[in-house]
Amino acid sequence: MNYGRILQSQQAFFQSGATLPVSFRKTALSLLEGAIQSRRAEIETALAQDLGKSRQEAGMTEIALVLEEIRFAKRHLNGWSCAKRVRTPISHWPGRQRIQPVPYGSVLILSPWNYPFQLCMSPLASALAAGNCAVVKPSELAGHTAQAICALLGEIFPPEYVSVCLGEADTAAALTALPFDKIFFTGSGAVGKKVLAAAAQNLTPVTLELGGKCPCLVDASADLQTAARRIMWGKILNCGQTCVAPDYVLVHRSVRDAFIRQCRAAAEEFLGVNPLASPDYGRIVDEAHYQRLLRLLEGCRILFGRETDSNTLRLSPTLVDDPPLELPVMQEEIFGPILPVLPFDTLGQAAGIVRQNPHPLAAYFFASDKKALAAMQNAFSYGGCCINDTVLQLASPHLPFGGVGESGMGQSHGRYGFLTFSHLRGIYRRWGSWEPDLRYPPYNEKKLFWVEKSMRL
C-alpha cells in the first residue's frame, strides 16, 4: 500500500474545503453512528475473539462510549466550531479580536489493542467533528476488531476522507514518517517515544495517551466494602488490560486485613469461586503478555488467586501481599489482573511510594474524611482521578482525559477531543484608517511617554 499517496489524496480533499462546513461534519458523524449500530453484532463478535469480552463488557466499555462521543459532538458542534470573541486591548482599538477553531488537515490515529474499537473510533469521531481527514491504524494484536473497523469505515467513507491501514509495527513506522498534520497515539510509553521522535522529523504535533502505574489510596475512614468492590471491578475489567486500571493499592495498615477480606468477597461475588470459568471474564491478549504477567508474579507472596489456564490465556484476579518496591511487579505497569496491596502508616509514606514511579495517568482515592481526601488529592501529580470509585472518569465526555509527564501529553473526549484536533487561529480585524502614530518612527520622548503609560511600564 502506498501510504504517501493516501496522504496526498487526503490533503487534496481537505484543500477542496469539503470537510469545513459543520453540516458535512454532522453528516459524517451520523453515518458513523448508523454504521456502528448496524454492525454491532459483528463488533461484539470481533471483541470476543480478540479479548474474550462478554457482550455487556463490549457494549459498556467499547460501543456505548463511542456512540456517546459521537452524539455529544453532534449536539455541541455548532457551539464548538464557531469563532469566539475575546477582549480587545485599548492598544488595538478600533478593532475586534476572535478565536476560530480550524481543522489541522489530515491526521493519523494509531490505536492500541486493549480497547481496540473504542480507542480507535472515539478519537476518529473527535477528528471528524473538528473537520479533518483521517488515517487510522488499528492494532494488529486485535486483528478481528481491526478487520471489523476496516469494513465499517470502508463502507461509509471514501479513502480520501477516512482511510484504514492494516499492518504491524512496520506499517506504523512508515505512517509516522509521513508529514501528517497531527498524530494521535494511544499505547505504551516505549512506543510513544518512537512516535514522538518520528513526528519530530516533520515537526508534526502529537497527542500521546500512555499509561503508568495508577495507584489506589485507601484511608482508614473509607467504606471498605464499597472501596474493595469498586477497585476489584476496575482491576478485572478487561482483565486489567486498561491504561487507567488500578495498578496497586496503598491501604492504611489499621484496615489492611479487613480490606483484603472484602476484596476476596468482591472477586467471588463478581466471578464466582472459579473465575476462569466465568463467561463475564475475558482473557489476556496473547501468549507473550500472558507469560509476562506470570513472570511478574515470581518472588511474590500471593494472598489469593493465581489460577491459570494456558490454553485460554486466562489468569484469575490475583492479590499480592506487600511486595518489595524493587520487584518488577512494583516497577513495571502491570496491565493485567494482578493487584499488589501495600500497607501505609502515614500519607507521606504512601505518597513517597507513588513518587518513586513516573506520574500516573490516573489515581484513585477512597476516604470519607474530607481532610484526608484533600490531602490525598494534593499529595502527588497525576493525569486525572476518581474519588471513591475507579475508571469512570474515563467515560465522561464532560471531563478532559489525558496524562502528565510520562503518562502522556494532550487531552481527549468531548470538547477537549475537538480542541485536540483543532488549531486555535487568532484573528484581529482593524476598523477604519484612523490610528495613533505612536508605533511609527521617528520616535521621541512624547511618544515614549504615552507608550509606557499605555503599557503600564
Model confidence at 326: pLDDT above 90: yes
pLDDT in tens, 402-437: 999 999 999 999 999 999 999 999 999 988 887 778
Interval 107-118 mean pLDDT: 97
Of the candidates 133, 214, 216, 243, the residue annotated as catalytic is 243
DSSP 391-405: SGGGG-TTS-B---G
How many CB atoms are closer than 10 A to CB 307? Answer: 14
pLDDT band at 457 (very low <50, low <70, confident <90, very high): low
According to the model, what pLDDT value does residue 152 have? 98
Mean pLDDT lowest among 84-88, 117-121, 338-342:
84-88
Interval 36-52 mean pLDDT: 97
pLDDT in tens, 301-310: 999 999 999 9
Asked if residue 103 has a cis previous peptide bond (ω within 30° of 0), the answer is no
SS3 309: strand
According to the model, what pLDDT value does residue 434 have? 78
Of the candidates 209, 216, 333, 406, the residue annotated as catalytic is 209
pLDDT in tens, 165-197: 999 999 999 999 999 999 999 999 999 999 999
Residue written as grid cell 459521537? 70
Read off the C-alpha cell for 34. Answer: 448508523
Hey, what's the torsion of the CAs at 377, 381, 387, 389, to 10 degrees?
A: -150
Model confidence at 377: pLDDT above 90: yes
> In the chain, how many H helices and how many E strands?
17, 18
Q: Which of 243, 446, 202, 224 is nearest to 335 (CA)?
A: 243
Residue written as grid cell 491478549? 285
SS3 118: helix
Q: With contact defined as beta carbons under 8 Å apart, do 248 and 341 qualify?
A: yes
Hey, what's the torsion of the CAs at 360, 364, 369, 375, to 10 degrees?
A: 10
Model confidence at 43: pLDDT above 70: yes
Give whole-number Cα distances, 12 to 161, 264, 371, in Å.
Answer: 10, 58, 57
Model confidence at 101: pLDDT above 80: yes
- CA of residue 106 relative to chain centroid, distance: 20
According to the model, what pLDDT value does residue 94 have? 85
The average confidence (pLDDT) of the chain is 95
According to the model, what pLDDT value does residue 415 have? 97
Active site residue 243: yes
SS3 174: helix
